[in-house]
Structure 1
């Protein structure tokens, strides 16, 4: 049986989480949406409006939440760690309220402490948050980064010790960003590159891939630079995305673009991915 891959994008929510988000989804022809439920570049934790939450829950559009960029569960700073815990807990609660399937969090950086110390910190501080998620609540989706600095996860193999620190909790799953993976050294543009990356992911995290951020890359493979490009306009190219959707490890996993530009560009990227899916 063929499983359809739903394709969408990060939705702008001006005018309300549901009102603006669903309007933007319709404008870009998105089948799924990802939203911020609070300021993505700050620590302030915004509360939602029950009417907007209900409208989003009842819309039938699958929703994912992305946590703010400042979150870093690997940080040696007690202040950053405390704020990260509060922010993830808040986003998970808001994820329940809007009916989200998953809450995306960057896997973070050890900064100035050792990787082992950062992983112990994850075990002590992030594992209890996973335990708080209700059975019917959203998964926490771990998003590896491009490999800059002391990032805890860049290649998909890095997810092995990360998930081990979280005792392979059933609510700890994966969001794969194609630009990040390419920047970290997975050559998705090379023949067999997508398959090699997905098979490596399946080795360390079988069945845990729940969302893909579909982004081309402005920079070359292994650059460790997180600069997204529109689909087919970067170094990854369109064929890699077609191969991604055909591979059994990614079968049926939703794709969400986070590409440059405004609605017209986002619609073009989504329509191109749909053409690759349906062609």
Structure 2
């Protein structure tokens, strides 16, 4: 990984995963990309195009995959659970095919069941998937949520019991979403707040932070609302992202925007993050 963090975004793909993805990457000035390899809001699993996969691999761009939003490996619904397992397996296999560094997965919800029961389901179904990852395959990156409903993991502190349920498996990494963390109660508006969160992350899971979703927040700290805003236009503010790029825990971790708008807005967000990094 480079000395300074690469900065990029979730790309809008049209015209093929590599062709469209690399074009959008160039249009917004990204240095890394995150992609979907199947419908993000459904269960249909796309086979992929070997030629496009090879082209993306050969481009050598730091790439991450985001698994679909419906995945919940703690679900009490057998159908949801079965489809979640197959969807994560598919994302990991497709991630390996395109040379991805990691596959991001939301940490899930207990829904209507006791939390302990959901955590047992999570362990039973996620540990085998982690064991299946080949040595040269992508890590599975756990993304804590904003704390809404019966989420199994929201704050950095929640990562302790979550990873413990997975025996701190070596292929389980972390993707930290700044909007989610802020909504869950981590006050990132001051350098002290950023430092406190990252120090806690290091104490709980040293070396596991592999990706940061850099998103400002439309709502206040502790709102438990997952509503992304453009960098510097929300309640977190631009200074927090500069602090993230200075702290030793996150200083070399890629930043990926998932902010509102299209090409122009995404380009502006990436340009601002680059200025903060380079200053």
Aligned equivalent of 1:160 = 160
TM-score (norm 1): 0.99
Task: Give the 3-state SS of the residue equivalent to 1:61 in structure 2.
Answer: coil
Q: 1:204 to 1:123 in 2, by over 3 A?
A: same
Instruction: For residue 204 of structure 1, report the CA deviation from its aligned partner.
Output: 1.0
Aligned equivalent of 1:116 = 116
Aligned equivalent of 2:38 = 38
Taking the aligned partners of 2:217 and 2:200, their CA distance within structure 1 comes to 21
Instruction: For residue 191 of structure 1, report the CA deviation from its aligned partner.
Output: 4.1
Instruction: For residue 111 of structure 1, report the CA deviation from its aligned partner.
Output: 0.4
Q: 1:211 to 1:65 in 2, by over 3 A?
A: same
Taking the aligned partners of 1:160 and 1:115, their CA distance within structure 2 comes to 15
Instruction: For residue 121 of structure 1, report the CA deviation from its aligned partner.
Output: 1.0
Contact persistence 2:191–2:243 (CA under 8 A): no
Count of residues in Structure 1 that have an aligned counterpart in Structure 2: 278
Q: Deviations over 1:165-222 (max 9, x none)?
A: 1111110000000000000000000340100000111111111000000000000000
Contact persistence 2:8–2:255 (CA under 8 A): yes
Taking the aligned partners of 1:116 and 1:162, their CA distance within structure 2 comes to 11
Question: Which segments of 5 or more consecutive residues in structure 1 lack a partner in the other structure?
Answer: none
Aligned equivalent of 1:210 = 210
Task: Give the 3-state SS of the residue equivalent to 2:142 in structure 1.
Answer: strand
Taking the aligned partners of 2:61 and 2:182, their CA distance within structure 1 comes to 29
Task: Give the 3-state SS of the residue equivalent to 2:112 in structure 1.
Answer: coil
For structure 1, which segment, 96-105 or 187-196, has the greater mean C-alpha deviation from structure 2 after superposition? 187-196
Taking the aligned partners of 1:60 and 1:149, their CA distance within structure 2 comes to 39
Contact persistence 2:72–2:84 (CA under 8 A): yes
Aligned equivalent of 1:270 = 270
Aligned equivalent of 2:28 = 28
Taking the aligned partners of 2:203 and 2:119, their CA distance within structure 1 comes to 20
Taking the aligned partners of 1:172 and 1:8, their CA distance within structure 2 comes to 22
Instruction: For residue 163 of structure 1, report the CA deviation from its aligned partner.
Output: 0.3
Taking the aligned partners of 1:52 and 1:65, their CA distance within structure 2 comes to 15
Task: Give the 3-state SS of the residue equivalent to 2:245 in structure 1.
Answer: helix
Write out aligned runs for 1:167-178 (5 A): 167-178=167-178
Taking the aligned partners of 2:238 and 2:171, their CA distance within structure 1 comes to 32
Task: Give the 3-state SS of the residue equivalent to 1:34 in structure 2.
Answer: strand
Aligned equivalent of 1:139 = 139
Taking the aligned partners of 1:61 and 1:71, their CA distance within structure 2 comes to 26
Taking the aligned partners of 1:11 and 1:211, their CA distance within structure 2 comes to 15
Taking the aligned partners of 2:149 and 2:275, their CA distance within structure 1 comes to 37
Taking the aligned partners of 2:261 and 2:12, their CA distance within structure 1 comes to 12
Instruction: For residue 60 of structure 1, report the CA deviation from its aligned partner.
Output: 1.5
Taking the aligned partners of 1:4 and 1:184, their CA distance within structure 2 comes to 28
Taking the aligned partners of 1:200 and 1:127, their CA distance within structure 2 comes to 25
Aligned equivalent of 1:179 = 179
Aligned equivalent of 1:80 = 80
